[in-house]
Amino acid sequence: DAMVIQNPRYQVTQFGKPVTLSCSQTLNHNVMYWYQQKSSQAPKLLFHYYDKDFNNEADTPDNFQSRRPNTSFCFLDIRSPGLGDAAMYLCATFTPFHGYTFGSGTRLTVV
Amino acid sequence: KNEVEQSPQNLTAQEGEFITINCSYSVGISALHWLQQHPGGGIVSLFMLSSGKKKHGRLIATINIQEKHSSLHITASHPRDSAVYICAVPPRGGTSYGKLTFGQGTILTVHP
C-alpha cells in the first residue's frame, strides 16, 4: 500500500521546457519534503512544508518552485530545466511517531 | 553543523553473515534515522530512534546517546539486503523534522 506516491516514476523533459513533478500522500502528515538526489550523492533538501508553512532552502535555485494546495498533494515545478537538473527527485512526509515516509521518487532526464 | 560519519563505506558479505554498520555524529540530537536505498530506487525509512534499541524482522538498530553512536545490524543477511544504508540526523536543537544531515552511506553487497 503505497502511502507516498510520486508521479511519474520516470520523466523526460526538454532543456528549458517547464516540468512539474507530483507527490501525493494518504497519510495526512503535516510535514512534506522535496529532495534532489544526484548519482552517488546524498539527498539534498530543496523545500519543506509544515502544513502550508513553506520553507525554502537558501541554496535552492530560483528555477525550482513548489506548491502545496492541500495536505495530500505537493508539486515541484522546474521552470527551465537544465542538464544539471537531471536527478532523482524524492518526496517524503514526516511525523514524530512514524518518522519519514519516502515516495519511490521521480527520475528526471533532461534532453 | 552536525557531522555524520558512517563506516564502513563498502561492505561485502556472504549470505547468512551478521552485518554491522556504524554511524557516529558530532552534536546531540533528538532522533537518528536509518534509511535504505536500493540501486536506482527510492528511499525506505528503516528506523527512527532516540534511545536504546529497535528491532524489525532481521534488522536491529541501537543508539548510544552519550557516545553519539548508532549501529545497524542485519542478522542472517540475504542478497536482497544489498543496498545503500544511510544514517541521518536532524540539526542540533532543531525539531525532529528539520533538515537532515546524511552520512555518506554504506554500500552493502551480499553474495549468495
Residues in chain B with CB shorter than 8 Å from the CB of A90 are: 42-43
CA B90 from centroid of its chain's CA atoms? 14
pLDDT for the residue B47: 93
pLDDT, greater one: B91 or A32: A32
Virtual torsion, Cα A40, A100, A82, A73, nearest 10 deg: 160
Specify the range with the lowest mean pLDDT, choosing from A76-80, B21-25, B80-84, B95-99.
B95-99
Query: In angstroms, rounded to a whole number, what is the distance separating the alpha carbons of residues A33 and A16?
Result: 24
Q: Is A60 exposed, middle or buried (0-12, 13-18, 19+ CB in 10 A)?
A: middle
User: Across chain B, what does the average pLDDT equal?
Assistant: 91
Residue B106 has pLDDT above 60, yes or no: yes
Least CB-CB distance to A102: which of B44, B97, B102? B44
pLDDT for the residue A40: 85
pLDDT for the residue B20: 98
Residue A42 to chain B, least CA–CA distance (Å): 6
How many CB atoms sit inside 10 A of residue A102's CB? 23
Residues in chain A with CB shorter than 8 Å from the CB of B44 are: 102
Q: How many CA atoms lie within 13 A of B2 on its CB side?
A: 26
Band (B30; pLDDT cuts 50, 70, 90): confident
A6 grid coordinates:
510520486
pLDDT for the residue A1: 59
Could you read off the pLDDT of A5-20 as tens digits, one per residue?
999 999 999 999 999 9
Could you read off the pLDDT of B50-92 as tens digits, one per residue?
899 999 999 999 999 999 999 999 999 999 999 999 999 887 6
| CB within 8 Å: B42 and A103 | yes
Question: Residue B81: phi, psi to the nearest 5?
Answer: -80, -10
Residues in chain A with CB shorter than 8 Å from the CB of B102 are: 42-43
pLDDT, greater one: B92 or A57: A57
| CB within 8 Å: B43 and A90 | yes
Residue B93 has pLDDT above 70, yes or no: no
Q: In a 3-state reduction of DSSP, which class is residue B82?
A: coil
Band (B2; pLDDT cuts 50, 70, 90): confident
C-alpha pair distances (Å), A1 with each of A27, A28, B22, B58: 11, 15, 31, 22
Mutate one of B56, B70, B97 to test the A interface: name it (highest A CB count within 10 A): B97
Strands (E), A1-111: 4-7, 10-13, 19-25, 31-37, 44-50, 53-56, 64-67, 73-78, 87-95, 99-102, 106-110
- On whether any CB of chain A is under 8 Å from the CB of B49, the answer is no
Strands (E), chain B: 4-7, 10-14, 19-25, 32-37, 43-49, 52-56, 59-64, 69-74, 83-89, 101-102, 106-111
